[in-house]
Structure formats: structure tokens, C-alpha cells
Amino acid sequence: MEKIKKSQVVSSLKEKIEKANGLLLTDFKGTNFVELSELRNKLKKIGGDIKIAKNTLLKIAIRSTYADELGKFLDGSNAVVFSYKDPVEVVKAVVSAYKTQPLFKIKAGIMDGKILNVKDLEFVSKLPSKNELRGKLVQVIAGPLQGFVRVLSGPIRGLVIALNQIQKKKEAA
């Protein structure tokens, strides 16, 4: 690879690393093109990306970034998965690929400046996403409010029922 091309790859990787809020390092050896393309498409839909690069270029790109500690895991064939939106959704997608494709391996990840191993990432994949948490928060907030509305409308409903019964008695008489 030409020196100019290598520097472009390194700067592109560094830009992606700085933009991402989470990274996963995977071993893609044995994964075919179709499986990798499916994973790439799934990641793009949820705000992620996957990039395959040489270890030497990856080491240069992660140097002096928050992902510097991932350098010790760079051996063999590596692909870096970037998360730009919700890192939990990206971890879920990668862990599901890891479980369905026996040759695909997760080496490590980094979220919020902390290195995560495979067990940690499997735990993170079981967490609810941001949207699920927002939905649960709305339910928690809406529950008491709905009860309050029912309590306030109770006397009015009782009055309406009583007036309807009085009207029916007058009409019957």
C-alpha cells in the first residue's frame, strides 16, 4: 500500500474513532462476505459501522485516543465496529452475530472509557436500549397521572350517573 493511501486510511480510522461513542474489536476470520455485509447493513440501520484494516494502521489510528488500550488486543485479523448513536444497540447486533456465526469472535470493546471483555459485552447486550428505557420512564410517569385523572373524574362521573337516573325516573313517570 502506498504511503499516501496508508495515511488516508489512518486519518479515516482516527476520525471514526473520535466520532464514535463506543468501539468493539472483533476477529472476522472465517466470516464470509455475505455475513459481513449483513452485519454491516444491520449496523448502519442502528447508527454503527464496521471497518477492516491492518493492525499496524489500527495501532497508529488508536494511538493517543480514548481507545488506546485496545492496542493490546490487535493480533490476527481484526475488524473495528464503531457506535455513533446508541452503543447498546450496536453491542446487541454484534453479540447476536457472534452467537450465530461460530467463527466470528469478539475480542474486546470500549465504552465510556472502560475496556469490556466478552462477558461484559454479553451483559451489555441484555440491557434495554435507550428507546426502551424512555418508554419505561414514560410509563412510570404516566401511571400516577392516569390514576390522578381517574380520581378527579370520579365525583363528576358519579354526578352524571345520578342525573341520568333522575332523568330516567322523570321520563318514566
The pLDDT of 93-109, averaged and rounded, is 82
The model's confidence at residue 5, banded by pLDDT at 50, 70 and 90, is: confident
Q: Can you tell me the distance from the alpha carbon of 44 to that of 62, in angstroms, rounded to the nearest whole number?
A: 22
Residue 18 has a CB neighbour count (10 Å cut-off) of 11
The model's confidence at residue 157, banded by pLDDT at 50, 70 and 90, is: confident
pLDDT recorded at residue 1: 63
Residue 129 has a CB neighbour count (10 Å cut-off) of 16
pLDDT recorded at residue 71: 82
Helix (H, G, I), strand (E, B) or coil at 29: coil
Residue among 116, 110, 82, 97 at smallest CA distance from 28: 97
pLDDT recorded at residue 100: 78
pLDDT recorded at residue 96: 83
Rounded to the nearest integer, the mean pLDDT of the chain is 84
Query: Cβ(88)–Cβ(125) under 8 Å?
Result: yes
* pLDDT(166) > 80: yes
The residue whose grid cell reads 474513532 is 17
pLDDT recorded at residue 129: 76
